[in-house]
Amino acid sequence: MSLVPSLRDEVGDNLRAVAAYREDTCKILYERPDVQSKPRVIDRIHQELVMEGLGTEHLEDVFDVGRLNCTVHSFEEAMCFHFVRPNISGVFVSIDPDSLLAMREFVDLCKTEPIDSTL
């Protein structure tokens, strides 16, 4: 299976959005209809994800507890996860804040599931 269908199975209707990026491009792979109607901020988010991804090694050194799996930003309307992948690339996943997840499985899925898109 690929990332979006796997996430839809795992998160259900609580999945808000999924995007994949490389250093110079970002592609929205899925958006729930109510999220589609919101103002577009993907370019600003993409810039932030690239900058955050460049700091991965620093965070791993500071915390000294292994490889960084993801960062989480918790907002009133969304939980946003950033999964850094090799070569200045990664995945952004947004879910409803009241979602209940098996966190280890969710993280593993987002880090390893193939992305069904050409960036």
Confirm whether pTM is higher than 0.85: yes
In the chain, % of residues over pLDDT 70: 96
**What is the tens place of the pLDDT at every residue in 33-59?**
999 877 677 778 888 888 888 888 899
Q: Is the pLDDT of residue 28 over 70?
A: yes
Mean model confidence pLDDT for the chain: 89
Cα angle, residue 45 at apex, residues 39 and 46 outer, rounded to 5°: 125
**What is the tens place of the pLDDT at every residue in 2-17?**
999 999 999 999 999 9
Q: Is 87 helix (H, G, I), strand (E, B) or coil?
A: coil
pLDDT (0 to 100) of residue 6: 94
Q: Is the pLDDT of residue 118 over 70?
A: no
Domains of the chain are 3-112 (3.30.450.30)
Q: How far is CA 46 from CA 28, 81, 88, 91, 102, in A?
A: 11, 13, 11, 10, 27
Residues 6 or more apart whose Cβ sits within 8 Å of residue 67: 60
